Structure 1
């Protein structure tokens, strides 16, 4: 049997997305993407952008391994967060609201006035159907009065873009209709010349596998500013063995981090097992007990450090684990 074919990276792979749109010097490409996804035209377009958490593919510390969103600030001060979430998470909406609120709140320093706060927009691209009761690809949320429907403020805005609905969107919006998906993930052939900028971007994000190799790119796509840049970046990743290995290592670290983060019992058992081994090596009952205790403490400390590294405030960690805040703070401190 021959070797398995190499993995094909696509735009919806977490670290690929951040590598393409979230590195330093990639501001222009991120501007193109945001303007398309937010339907910004004319004077409303983003023209200046700073990436607040630039991605370094060689930085593989576990503290960074769980952070795969891209944060940016435009010339007016408005903040943006964009991420890809491929797997269905039951806590997705609560998670989105948490990160949007933090994106908004983090800009205010001690002693600064609330009127200095700028708007914040969060965008999540999902690889699954989040809202099954409607067929819209993009859902936009703001704060409104529930009875009269008037808007309270435009300072907080939350977008969900459901990529599995792209083919259906193309079928309904264009005549003749786009070819239906024959298999899950197979790219339909749309009427390229009639696609909007928004639809073209969604197509390449949804069906990135089609553009990862050296095949031809439809002329209507090459005319769209920014899309060719994104496809070129995707092809570079798939052709660069060293970069592929770096991104795969990032994903591995993130999986391990999330495994312990969402399974505290597993991390606890790891710590307990290490303590047991240490105790057995000492050969004394006292040593065994000390090893067990140390293992339990190390397991709990590991959980605490990982939760904080993922962005959870120490106060929330303390409540979640039913521990005093002082204990959480002490265990989270770097070991000397």
Structure 2
């Protein structure tokens, strides 16, 4: 696993069919529909001021059904993956609401992290997280979906 190779294979328009197949493999059970097409979008999360951090996503796209997807590859465990994931997720979520738009215009953002290390407590290599009520298991919204694929 390597960022440059991953972006070359999954982040180029001429190989978008590979990306669509990958996204369907990971997301179809939770999305409830197949990804038919996508459009690659800017991978830069522009800071609001000079004091804020500039972030670059590995592969970012908009699905034909409107969801935004960020796919990240991380080879080294810097012990910050959970917070880094939320930072990237929130940057992408907030980046698409224009001045004066209603909050109903916000689109769901899905993050997929491919990790070359073990991070989470479960045994399965694929875990999905969202915002849930811990007592009832009810999901607050489908706007936040975070997948981890652990491939040590």
Whether TM exceeds 0.5 here: the answer is: yes
Q: Deviations over 1:254-307 (max 9, x none)?
A: xxxxxxxxxxxxxxxxxxxxxxxxxxxxxxxxxxxxxxxxxxxxxxxxxxxxxx
**Equivalences for residues 147-158 of structure 1 within 5 A:** 147-158=135-146
TM-score calculated relative to the size of structure 1: 0.40
Please give the alpha-carbon distance, in whole angstroms, between the structure 2 residues aligned to 1:68 and 1:101: 12
Q: Give the whole-Å Cα distance in 2 for the aligned partners of 1:148 and 1:111.
A: 35
Q: 1:17: Cα distance to partner?
A: 0.2
Of the three residues 19, 29, 49, the one matched with 2:38 is 49
More RCO (CA 8 Å, sep 6+)? 2
User: Structure 1 CA distance, aligned partners of 2:57 and 2:101?
Assistant: 29
Displacement, 1:147?
A: 2.0
1:105 Cα offset (Å)? 1.1
| Partner residue of 1:20 out of 3, 9, 31 | 9
Higher helix fraction (1 or 2): 1
Paired residue secondary structure (1:38): helix
Q: Structure 1 stretches of 5 or more lacking a match?
A: 1-11, 55-65, 165-336
Cα displacement (A) at 1:27: 2.0
Question: Could you say which structure has the larger radius of gyration?
Answer: 1
Rounded to whole Å, the distance in 2 between the matches of 1:101 and 1:163 is 25
The question of whether the paired residues in 2 share the 8 Å contact of 1:104 and 1:118 is answered with yes
Question: 2:128 aligned to 140, 150, 168, which one?
Answer: 140
| Count of aligned residue pairs for this structure pair | 140
Q: Kindly indicate whether the alpha-carbon contact (under 8 Å) linking 2:117 and 2:150 is maintained by their aligned counterparts in 1.
A: yes
- 1:148: Cα distance to partner? 2.1
Partner of 1:35: 24
TM-score normalised by length of structure 2: 0.85
Q: Which runs of 4+ in 1 moved over 6 A?
A: none
Alpha-carbon RMSD: 1.8
What is the Cα deviation at residue 28 of structure 1? 1.7
Alignment match, 2:73: 84
- Partners of 1:159 and 1:68 lie apart in 2 by 15
Structure with greater strand percent:
2
